[in-house]
Amino acid sequence: MVSVRKRKMKRSGVAKVRTSKNKNRGKYNPKSNPVIAKHWDNDLTPAQNYKKLGLTFKLSAQSGGEEKKIKIKQIQHNNMEENLLESDDDENNKNDNNDNFDPYDPANILEGTAKMKRDENGNIIEIIYGTKKINSLENNESDNNNNDNNNNNSNNNTDDDNSKAKQVIAELEELSKLPKKKEIHWLNELDVQRCDKLIARYGDDYEKMKWDKKLNPFQLSPGQLRKLIAKYYEQIELKKLKQYQNDDNIEIDN
């Protein structure tokens, strides 16, 4: 008899808490193909493995979730941002040794920035806008060099992947050219017994066979019965041939 607590749990609208399982675990079996199994990387996802081997994981278009390639740029030192973060006191300390340096000269102030002149009371007297331009050509050249290095590294990786993909595709093409073995589907014991009884009772009369409810419980048509009996005879011949080959091997060994 069910307890009161169990009855209350059944009537309750609160859903049971169930642990989520990884549904894709064990779903893909790369060992079915020897070429793919040889080059399979267990640390990668199936989609990443197929892409590395030059194959497509899904024929449909990608609906999202694809990782983008990240380009890493090196940090440029002594650039404009660092100069902007420097305080006026640091600039004055750097330029104390240079008597000819004028901190309020527009040529010594970065373009896009300004400095304020104040009197002894702290009131603003004048705002001086800078005209000094950063050597953008040097920065652009250094950026281009870094991008070229990153592109060269990525190109080397892609070349390796492409060569591996071509090798895998060539191996798969060679594997597909090999002759396929014909699979023999043997009849089960019950079908063999039914075929024996049908042949013993009706011979080759398939019209009478189809009306036998006991020996033809699935109501096979005369054409289907003809195919079944032909398969039965073929199976008998194959068994005789196999036995004959085994007997020959035994005689050769002796």
State the chain's mean pLDDT as an integer: 77
Higher local confidence (pLDDT), 78 or 181: 181
Tokens coding 55: 């194959």
Query: According to the model, what pLDDT value does residue 24 have?
Result: 59
Q: Cβ distance 14 to 20 under 8 Å?
A: no
* pLDDT confidence of residue 80: 45
Extract the tokens encoding 37: 């199994």
Highest-confidence segment of 47-56, 215-224, 243-252:
215-224
> How much is the pLDDT for 10?
75
Beta 114-118 vs 124-129: how paired, if at all? antiparallel
Q: Find the mean pLDDT for residues 123-146.
A: 68
Segment 142-183, tens digit of pLDDT: 555 555 555 555 566 666 778 888 888 888 888 888 888 777
CB 138 within 8 A of CB 109: no
The residue behind tokens 């090196």 is 74
